[in-house]
Copies of this chain bind each other. A is one copy, B any other.
C-alpha cells in the first residue's frame, strides 16, 4: 500500500519554489503493537505553515528537512493493532502532515463527531482556525457589547469567525479584506457592519470613514501597513491582538515593525500575542458552543476545497495570493 507524502527538501527564502517540497510515494510499513493506521481525507492549509519551514526558534520546532511537511489532517482509522483508544471507523484529527496516511499510537489524535459537522469544517471553524478565533476574541480581546472591533484578514479562516463571534457578542465589527467579492461576502453573508477593501482603498482614509469613533479591539492576522493604520485609530485602553502577520511571512528582509506602536502609549493600549495551543484544555467547551452557533445559524462556515495531494503546492500558494474563498482545505484521499 502506497502513501504519497510531501517532503520538505529545502528551506525557502521568501516564497517556496519548486525545490522546497518533493512528492514521494512510499510503501506503508506494518503496524506495531498498539498502533493504528489512519487514512487522511483532508489536510488543512494555514499561513502558519510558512513559519514552520524556517530554521529559527519559535513556538514549535521547525519541520525537519527530509521529513513530511507539517499540517493539520483529518481522516479515518482503517486498521488497528490492539490500540486501546481507537477503533476502525473512528473519525480523527491531529497534525497528520501532508500525506495520505498516518501510522501512530494515537497520542495527540482526537476523535470528532461527524454528525455535528463535516470533516473539512473540523479543520476550519471547529479546528485550529476556529479555536484561534474563539479564544483570541473572547479570552485575549475580552470583547464586550458595544465594542468597536476591527479584524484584518476578515474573509480568512480565522478572521471570518472572529468577526462573527464579535457580532454574536454585540460588537460593531469592521473587516479588512482584499477585493470586492470578499468584502461583499463578510458584510452580506456574515453580517459584518462594514468592510474595507485594502486592495482598492486607502486604508487610512477608509478607517477614518468606517471607524470614525476609533477601535476598541483590533484582531490582526496581517501586519505591515494594516497594523500601522489600525494603531493610528486606537481608542483609549484598546486591545491589539497579534494572531499573525501574513503580509510579512515571505519577506526576504526583516519584518516591517509597526511604526505607530507609540500609539499604545498615547492611548494606554495593550498589544498581546495569541497562541491557540495555550487553550487546548478548553477546546471541547469551545467546539460545543460553536457547534451550537452553527446549528442555530448564528455562525457560518465556508471551506474552499481543492483536490489531490499532487496539487499541494499550488493550493498552498493560494494562502498568500488570497485566491481562495473560505478556509483552504486539500482533499488527499483518492
Chain copies in complex: 2
Q: Majority SS of interface residues in chain A?
A: loop
| Given A271-B270, A272-B270, A259 and B254 contact (CB-CB distance below 8 Å) | yes
What residues of B have a CB within 8 angstroms of the CB of A256 in the complex?
Answer: 257, 259
Is A260 close to B, CB under 8 A?
A: yes
Residue on B with the closest CB to A248? Answer: B262
A246 to B188, CA, bound (A): 46
A58 to B242, CA, bound (A): 24
> Distance (Å) between the CB of A62 and the closest chain B CB?
13
Residue on B with the closest CB to A269? Answer: B273
The reply to whether B259 and A242 form a contact with Cβ atoms under 8 Å apart is no
What residues of B have a CB within 8 angstroms of the CB of A278 in the complex?
Answer: 268
Which residues of chain A from 68 to 97 have a CB within 8 Å of any chain B CB? none
The reply to whether B275 and A272 form a contact with Cβ atoms under 8 Å apart is no
A313 to B269, CA, bound (A): 33
A sample of 13 cross-chain residue pairs with beta-carbon separation below 8 angstroms, ordered by A number, consists of A223-B262, A242-B261, A242-B262, A242-B264, A243-B265, A254-B259, A256-B257, A256-B259, A257-B258, A258-B261, A264-B272, A268-B272, A268-B273
Q: Which residues of A contact B (CB under 8 A)?
A: 57-59, 223, 228, 242-245, 248, 254-275, 278
Question: 17 additional contacts, CB 8 Å, given A59-B266, A268-B278?
Answer: A57-B266, A59-B265, A223-B262, A242-B262, A245-B262, A256-B257, A257-B258, A257-B259, A257-B260, A258-B261, A261-B261, A263-B273, A265-B274, A268-B272, A268-B275, A270-B270, A271-B272
